[in-house]
Structure 1
Amino acid sequence: MWFSKSQAEVLQELQVNATNGLTTEEAKARLEQYGANRLKGKPKKSTIALFFAQLKDMLIYVLLGAGVVTLIIGEYVDAIIIFAVVVLNAVIGVIQENKAEKAIEALQKMTTPRALVRRDGEVKEIQSELIVPGDIVILDAGRFISADLRLLESANLQIEESALTGESVPTDKQADDIHPDPQTPIGDKSNMAFMSTLVTYGRGEGVAVATAMETEMGKIAKILDDDNKELTPLQKKLEELGKTLGFIAIGICVLIFIIALIQKRDLFEMFLTAISLAVAAIPEGLPAIVAIVLALGVTRMSKINAIVKKLPAVETLGSVNIICSDKTGTLTQNKMTVVKHFTEPNESLDKDKAPVELIKALVLCSDATFENGEGTGDPTEVALVAFGDKNNLNKRSLDMEFKRVAEKPFDSDRKLMSTLNKMENGYRVHTKGALDQLLQISTLAYVDGKVVPLTEEMKLQYLKAAENMSDEALRVLGAAYKDTDHIISADEMERDLTVIGFVGMIDPPRLEVKDSIREAKLAGITSVMITGDHKNTAVAIAKQLGIAESIEQSMTGTEIDQLSDEEFSRRISNYRVFARVSPEHKVKIIKAFKAKGNIVSMTGDGVNDAPSLKFADIGVAMGITGTDVSKGASDMILTDDNFSTIVHAIREGRNIYLNISKSVIFLLSCNLGEVVAILASILFFWPIPLLPTQILWINLVTDTLPAIALGVDPGDKDVMKKKPRDPKESFFAKGAGLRAVIGGLLIGILTLVAFYLGLHEFGYSLNSENIPEDAMMNARTMAFVVLASSQLFYSLSMRSATKSIFQVGFFTNKYLIGSIVTGLVLQFVVITIPFLASAFKVHNLSLVDWGLVIVLGLIPLIINEIIKIFIRSTKTGDA
């Protein structure tokens, strides 16, 4: 804890003389001991390893099993199709993995290339990689810091640390400060300077106390490098579903062999039948369909300025119920802005327009620039110059008209800055700084265009008004002046001044964010602010945005450290604002929310946000202001840096999950129908109505097209008026399982009916023996077409659990209509083109038979629509 020790103690511990620095030999020895000053990452996995990692999934195992089954029965084309699906899934996964892990590389790029150090009694410029603990590092304005330093000297030193702490205003540094509290937040360590932060003002010297992975930036790199790849809710459900289907397939095979033994059937025939049932139980196209639906969702989301890097993240967004957001640059505009002013101590309310004299003093007593909406220099001074520009007092014009002839630079002890400018009839001192300091050195006040004596009562009024602004988390900056007929010394400038007034500034909220937070709240989503900024400032912004109602809903990093993980997790739901936090605190907050069963999204843009972005269920980085590090650690990037886009993305995520659920239930209904048809045939000693190749054709072709079309179904308009989905909620919740069973039973029974009618045309029944091949082919063709057509028509009913196909809009999903037409055409092609008909052991149907199978195929759709009418009437009755 270098920040708790004096300079002398630090130098003694590091065995270095501040005047001469390290010797070349000692620096070389330490470089060998500590290693190069650069951030490291773990070795990357090879592409082959990544490829095989994609295959570790139960549904993939099931799919591979189906491929082996098709090889066993000699259906090589189907086997090729199945294995091609597996390979395609793995390739997509590898591509996503390669894009995802860029965070460490980006951190390495942020380490600075050159640094000024004192070695052998001389100041030398060296590569930052060569800095070692004990090096004396020279700091000046505009230079990035190359290692963590304990400051030895500081002269008006200010360092911009927003990448590390999230604070938008540069931090004043004091080398002589000592912080005995071991829990002092990073943003309050005024005697320290940290790697990859920027010196914006003044100069200083420091001794390197940590390099490479031991720096604060290195700690972030370590967190980013940890494995934290939890499965998304969708992945968990698919894994559970895959295991269930796998066990069902195995159970079916065992059941059939038991039945075969009891019924004394031919074991080889039963083996082929078992294969048919196993194939029927497994939705071969499901992994591919889910991947395709997610990929299409990614494309859609890119059109609303949300770039998704990892496919499962699309679905996870749909169950997000906590949005943790960084403040600076995410909820706020990341630019200090003057929002209030005060010049009239006798007025209860300030006038709308600030007086020219106040603005002129603040602009002339600043070194920043502001041209064409872009500013350079200290953020506070940029805000003042921008304030002048807004009031038609341009900095460049004022500087030309009132030339600066002398100045007294800002000093952190005085907390003042003064300039002497040439005026029409002499010279004028303009002073800006802390209001209490100004009031001490002022004797007059500029009130309503007149100069009057500054009384004690007026001072109290000024201070009271400033206190009110401070309570609103505004940063207060006063201005004063003094006229003189000649050039005066710097010591004379700040005496007997005339107070003009003061302004209050803040990094204001983004205009659109408040509405987005309100929409999120209506959708059952809680917004939480996590920032490195001060508590009062954070709470003030949170109140404006509707995130928090009182300061009691806030907690600092120091307060977090005082609680055990269990106690913190227990109490975390009471808080909406976390201030003065470090990157480690952010991760702890995310983990605590997740421990309560929440699905957490973290939004941020700085390096300090990267670890929490990685640990969140969904890490969302800003595309414009976001660092490469935050982008590399995230799951999603907002190209417009708009917090509102994440709310739109959540809406899209919810609809994508609903669509995937529709596809899954549809496929399982279809597969259940196949299982019902075959299992019933075995139990009642009937002939098997479908061959394995026919089932595979329907599963891989006819089912897949409607399933994909359901996956791109237009979204539910009311989806954001509902609470987030419980991540533990099954695919079969809210009656979906019952719908799947009803649909499956109807499809299976109607397939058997068609099989019976096909046999009946040739004078046979289900219990007949020695059925000739032509009769069996006709019956199987009828069953084959009814199975396919009933599934195709049934897909129309799957678009909504309660609304009819006409309420939803018959043609609002043109892809689904197209898939149904395509499926029917494919069935027609299979049974009419000779070589295909021969391969699938089917033949062409008569016109009457076609009419019969279409009628049978429509029955599941009609019955399901009738059930919906009863559901709607029941809900209306309850209401």
Structure 2
Amino acid sequence: MLFYQEEISAILKKFKVDKNRGLSEKEVKERLQIYGYNKWRTHQSKSLLSLFIGQLKDALIYVLMAAIAITIYMGEYIDAIIISGVILINASLGVYQEVKAGKAIQALQKLAALKATVIREGIRQIVDTATLVPGDIVVLETGQIVPADLRLISSINLQVEEAALTGESVPVYKEAKTVSSDDHVVLGEQKNMAFMSTLVTYGRALGVVVATGKKTEVGKIAENINTTETKTPLEIRLSDLGKTLGKIALGVCFLFFIIGYLQGRPLADLFLTAVSLAVASIPEGLAAIVAVVLSIGVTKMSKKNAIIKRLPAVETLGSVNIICSDKTGTLTMNQMQVVQAYTYKTGTQSSINTSARADFKQLSKIMLLCNDATLTKNQQTGDPTEIALLDFADQLDIKRSQVNSTHQRLDELPFDSDRKMMSVIVTDQTKTELLVKGAIDQILPRCTHVQFGAEVQLLSESIKEGILKSSENMSASALRTLAAAYKPYPSQGINKENWETELIFVGFVGMIDPPRKEAKIAIEKAHKAGIETLMITGDHKQTAIAIAKDIGILQTDDQAITGREWDHLSSKEQQDKINSLRVFARVSPQHKVNIVKRLQETGHIVSMTGDGVNDAPSLSHANIGVAMGITGTDVAKNASDIILTDDNFATIVTAVEQGRNIYSNIKKSVLFLLTSNLGEVIAMLISIIMGMPVPLIATQILWINLLTDSLPAIALGMDNDDPTVMQHKPRPPKESFFAHKQGIRVFAGGCLIALVTLTAYSYAYTVKGYSAFDDAIPQAVIDYARSMAFMSIIAAQLIYALAFRHYQKSIFSLGLFSNKLLTGAVVLGIVLQLLLFEISFLREAFKLTSLSLIDWFIVLALGLIPLLGNEMVKLFYRIKKNN
């Protein structure tokens, strides 16, 4: 039922209630049984244990669990502990993310007023908000939070702050009069409705409850948020990678075992080597490294005014190609400001124009004295429009305190939605005047004269036309106009019904919620990076268009559409049109969600920014939700992935840049891990296929993984930011880690590492006078050959890590030692390897033999080959690109 379209008598009849008596306690109890309590449905919370178990249902986690079982079976308990730690870290992060989703509902529930004033059994009483039922008669007064969705029965100068729900930048004037419309009217235009969790800023009213709990507008939002779950691209990629690596691990293990079995090798040794090789196929440090790199990104972002609530959001923001932004408080300052003023003498001018200041002072003083707001350095109270008028006086250097102290208000007619005016009688001991401010279309017809400097002239029709034309020009620029007039107050007084007649017109001002200065620069920077900005707002279309043009979102008016116009399009028309639209005005929360979904259906990765309750569903449905930290409601913050502590749109673009760098660093780590592990697998498979003794035993393989899959990979993930990252278009949503020939790079690198390993292995046999294909080789010779292969593969992997800092730039142009952590990781890895050879009990445990000085030189030379090969390919690429 569309309550705003129904006569109040019909609604009272529907709910079987007398507006003067209200419901009886018996009726309240009966309706509580039917409608339930005035709160949102409480969902059963999962225990931390069940949440934790749920996080283990993932392909990559299954592979890591298999690795734990294998390493425990092999007696490698330290490695098993490390892999277990990886699983615990990932599961804990996942639990945190799920707990966060529930907090959005809790925040919404806290918005509800705890107490409400009602009329029951003819008595005015205060009750718990949760006990309200449809049909209850509720009394609203200034400062109260609306406790349920109400259809107003009567109202006196009622103003309701609905910014958090509808996006309106100023309080909405409410009245009980029926809204007649054949079409659906958006929340912001339902003037006879008061919605749950909005704030009464002025006046009082009586209303009947028409919806409670989850049936209210804010309750629907709660239900909407609760059902939303979106996986980020990084989560999808890692999940797919985990499945792929699991298949590879099983395949390698099976192939290795079958070949060895057919060759008649000892089954015990064959099994241990096969399972260790399966572990080598899996970069078990991958999940931990990604978590570490993302955590580092969170720390960086917090220093740049962005709080990351969900770690993968750091990366996902880097792949965003659409930013849907609310207008009020996000792209604008969320405060009204006078930007133009008009008097008959000056015409329309900037309010701070030096030549017009004297003429504007009389206009400003009327609006200053006919005003109930307060404005100091520390705080402001009252209607934002009236606060803007006080600021206008400050722009003109009017001493407000002095004016207020010398003028006394004798009487007043408060603003109401029918008159659209406010009048006061003010005296300064020398004269008494009636001052009026309000809508120009209400004031001008009541004027007979016009102020012209110090003189008063007769207001002719031609002058009226000129004034109205100037007002229309301001409105066309999306400015809200407010006019002022006055007249001398006769000593004998006048009847209040005749106060606002025969007035002297002084002028009017044009106000707007101004855009943030940095927003335009940020939008242009995003555009160059292939990211389009869309404005989605509850404000009027012309206001939205003006702001959007000013900050560079909009080029032509046909790129803007209203929520009502959007509703008239079919789903197919919406999809066809959405890529050409840049501004959506007068939209509801459902519109915002629908727009986000349409964008996602056309292949976009969408970020949605907002601060109010009305933004929460779209923040939740978007790939990345970005909430304002200063002006944002708890609901918006809890429904988002990122919170901006400075409410600055420019910070979003900074976050995009950081997100791209984070993803780039994650990719470096992933490719390095896969290349290193592939080198081990290729070396082992070639050796067994060719019938040689395996170049690495199980414990050596696990040590290699422990050494190279940790420090160098983490150091790559902490590489310096690339200053050119915003010169590229966003990544396609489905782009894999192996795009742009990175798969070939991984395979080529793995082959080079395997070649280095087998070369060192074969060289060692030759030095001792044997061949790797001989039947009877002394164990000491095999141990020496394995020692050479073991050291060479470690050196190759550690040094090769330097090549992954950039896929095109030389390590010398980047600075050989500019990533100090990576340099330190390489040095530390080599030192640990030397200790393994020099400490006797470790050398015996890993079945190694000491190497000569010449051996060490050969190991170093072989270790440089993959890096030098990669640098030559980069050089060739750069030459080809420049030509």
**Same fold, judged at TM 0.5 (above):** yes
- Code of the residue aligned with 1:138 in structure 2: it is V
What is residue 315 of structure 1 aligned with on the other side?
A: 315
SS in 2 for 1:207: strand
Structure 2 CA distance, aligned partners of 1:413 and 1:20?
A: 28
Q: 1:349-368 deviations in whole A, cap 9, x for unaligned?
A: 56724421000001101111
Q: Find out whether 1:705 has 2:711 as its counterpart.
A: yes
Contact 2:138–2:208 (CA under 8 A) maintained in structure 1:
yes
What is residue 636 of structure 1 aligned with on the other side?
A: 642
Query: 1:780: how far off?
Result: 0.9
What is residue 429 of structure 1 aligned with on the other side?
A: 434
Contact 2:348–2:470 (CA under 8 A) maintained in structure 1:
no
Query: 1:144: how far off?
Result: 1.1
What is residue 605 of structure 1 aligned with on the other side?
A: 611
What is residue 416 of structure 2 aligned with on the other side?
A: 411
What is residue 64 of structure 1 aligned with on the other side?
A: 65
Contact 1:277–1:679 (CA under 8 A) maintained in structure 2:
no
Q: Find out whether 1:365 has 2:365 as its counterpart.
A: no
Residues 81-90 or 467-476, more deviating: 81-90
Q: Find out whether 1:729 has 2:735 as its counterpart.
A: yes
SS in 1 for 2:444: helix
Query: 1:488: how far off?
Result: 3.9
What is residue 463 of structure 1 aligned with on the other side?
A: 468
Query: 1:280: how far off?
Result: 2.2
Structure 2 CA distance, aligned partners of 1:16 and 1:164?
A: 29
What is residue 484 of structure 1 aligned with on the other side?
A: 489
Change beyond 3 A, Cα 1:734–1:366: same
- Code of the residue aligned with 1:460 in structure 2: it is E
- Code of the residue aligned with 1:334 in structure 2: it is N
Q: 1:37-76 deviations in whole A, cap 9, x for unaligned?
A: 1223422221111211222222221111112222232322
Structure 2 CA distance, aligned partners of 1:328 and 1:347?
A: 30
Q: Find out whether 1:551 has 2:552 as its counterpart.
A: no
What is residue 594 of structure 1 aligned with on the other side?
A: 600
Q: 1:677-709 deviations in whole A, cap 9, x for unaligned?
A: 101001111110011221111112223211111
Contact 1:364–1:395 (CA under 8 A) maintained in structure 2:
no
Residues 232-241 or 868-877, more deviating: 232-241
What is residue 158 of structure 1 aligned with on the other side?
A: 159
Structure 2 CA distance, aligned partners of 1:336 and 1:348?
A: 19
Instruction: State which of 782, 791, 797 in structure 2 corresponds to 1:791.
Output: 797
TM-score by length of 2: 0.97
Instruction: State which of 758, 761, 764 in structure 1 corresponds to 2:764.
Output: 758
What is residue 188 of structure 2 aligned with on the other side?
A: 187
Q: 1:688-744 deviations in whole A, cap 9, x for unaligned?
A: 001122111111222321111110111111111111011211111112112111111
What is residue 178 of structure 2 aligned with on the other side?
A: 177
Residues 848-857 or 266-275, more deviating: 266-275
Q: Find out whether 1:623 has 2:624 as its counterpart.
A: no
Structure 1 CA distance, aligned partners of 2:111 and 2:104?
A: 11
Contact 2:425–2:432 (CA under 8 A) maintained in structure 1:
yes
SS in 2 for 1:81: helix
Q: Find out whether 1:859 has 2:859 as its counterpart.
A: no
Q: RMSD value over aligned CA atoms? A: 1.6
Query: 1:261: how far off?
Result: 5.2
- Code of the residue aligned with 1:296 in structure 2: it is I
1:27-66 matched pairs, under 5 angstroms: 27-66=28-67
Q: Find out whether 1:530 has 2:536 as its counterpart.
A: yes
SS in 2 for 1:443: strand
Q: Find out whether 1:842 has 2:848 as its counterpart.
A: yes
Q: 1:625-649 deviations in whole A, cap 9, x for unaligned?
A: 1111111111011111111111000
SS in 2 for 1:66: helix
Change beyond 3 A, Cα 1:349–1:365: closer
1:760-775 matched pairs, under 5 angstroms: 760-775=766-781
Residues 519-528 or 264-273, more deviating: 264-273
What is residue 299 of structure 2 aligned with on the other side?
A: 299
Q: 1:369-422 deviations in whole A, cap 9, x for unaligned?
A: 111153211111111112112322244332211111111211221111111111
Structure 2 CA distance, aligned partners of 1:398 and 1:52?
A: 69
Q: Find out whether 1:282 has 2:287 as its counterpart.
A: no
What is residue 686 of structure 1 aligned with on the other side?
A: 692
Q: Find out whether 1:392 has 2:397 as its counterpart.
A: yes
Contact 1:153–1:204 (CA under 8 A) maintained in structure 2:
yes
Q: Find out whether 1:657 has 2:663 as its counterpart.
A: yes
Unaligned runs of 5+ residues in structure 1 are none
Change beyond 3 A, Cα 1:844–1:54: farther
SS in 2 for 1:177: coil
Query: 1:518: how far off?
Result: 0.7
Aligned length: 876
Query: 1:96: how far off?
Result: 4.1
Structure 2 CA distance, aligned partners of 1:82 and 1:307?
A: 29
Structure 2 CA distance, aligned partners of 1:540 and 1:716?
A: 36
What is residue 504 of structure 2 aligned with on the other side?
A: 498
SS in 1 for 2:527: helix
Q: Find out whether 1:109 has 2:114 as its counterpart.
A: no
Structure 2 CA distance, aligned partners of 1:104 and 1:823?
A: 49
Structure 2 CA distance, aligned partners of 1:205 and 1:729?
A: 58
Contact 1:4–1:182 (CA under 8 A) maintained in structure 2:
no
What is residue 5 of structure 2 aligned with on the other side?
A: 4
Change beyond 3 A, Cα 1:17–1:622: same
Contact 2:671–2:746 (CA under 8 A) maintained in structure 1:
yes
Q: Which 4+ runs in 1 deviate beyond 6 A?
A: none
SS in 2 for 1:102: helix
SS in 2 for 1:421: strand
State the identity %: 53
SS in 1 for 2:415: strand
- Code of the residue aligned with 2:749 in structure 1: it is G
Residues 560-569 or 23-32, more deviating: 560-569
Q: Find out whether 1:85 has 2:86 as its counterpart.
A: yes
Structure 2 CA distance, aligned partners of 1:667 and 1:615?
A: 34
Structure 2 CA distance, aligned partners of 1:871 and 1:741?
A: 18
SS in 2 for 1:467: helix
Structure 1 CA distance, aligned partners of 2:401 and 2:15?
A: 49
Q: Find out whether 1:874 has 2:880 as its counterpart.
A: yes
Contact 1:100–1:309 (CA under 8 A) maintained in structure 2:
no
Contact 1:183–1:561 (CA under 8 A) maintained in structure 2:
no
Structure 1 CA distance, aligned partners of 2:808 and 2:557?
A: 45
- Code of the residue aligned with 1:448 in structure 2: it is G
Unaligned runs of 5+ residues in structure 2 are none
Residues 54-63 or 386-395, more deviating: 386-395
Residues 356-365 or 545-554, more deviating: 545-554
What is residue 208 of structure 1 aligned with on the other side?
A: 209
Instruction: State which of 456, 464, 477 in structure 2 corresponds to 1:472.
Output: 477
Structure 1 CA distance, aligned partners of 2:230 and 2:698?
A: 37
- Code of the residue aligned with 1:282 in structure 2: it is I
Structure 2 CA distance, aligned partners of 1:810 and 1:702?
A: 19
Structure 2 CA distance, aligned partners of 1:587 and 1:513?
A: 24
SS in 1 for 2:451: strand
Structure 2 CA distance, aligned partners of 1:217 and 1:346?
A: 48
Query: 1:80: how far off?
Result: 2.3
- Code of the residue aligned with 1:58 in structure 2: it is A
Structure 1 CA distance, aligned partners of 2:370 and 2:652?
A: 41
Structure 1 CA distance, aligned partners of 2:842 and 2:88?
A: 26
Q: Find out whether 1:240 has 2:234 as its counterpart.
A: no
Contact 2:119–2:138 (CA under 8 A) maintained in structure 1:
yes
TM-score by length of 1: 0.97
Contact 2:344–2:450 (CA under 8 A) maintained in structure 1:
no
Q: 1:186-213 deviations in whole A, cap 9, x for unaligned?
A: 1111111100111122221110000111
SS in 1 for 2:484: strand
Residues 404-413 or 813-822, more deviating: 404-413
SS in 1 for 2:201: strand
Change beyond 3 A, Cα 1:347–1:218: closer
Query: 1:760: how far off?
Result: 2.4
Query: 1:523: how far off?
Result: 0.5
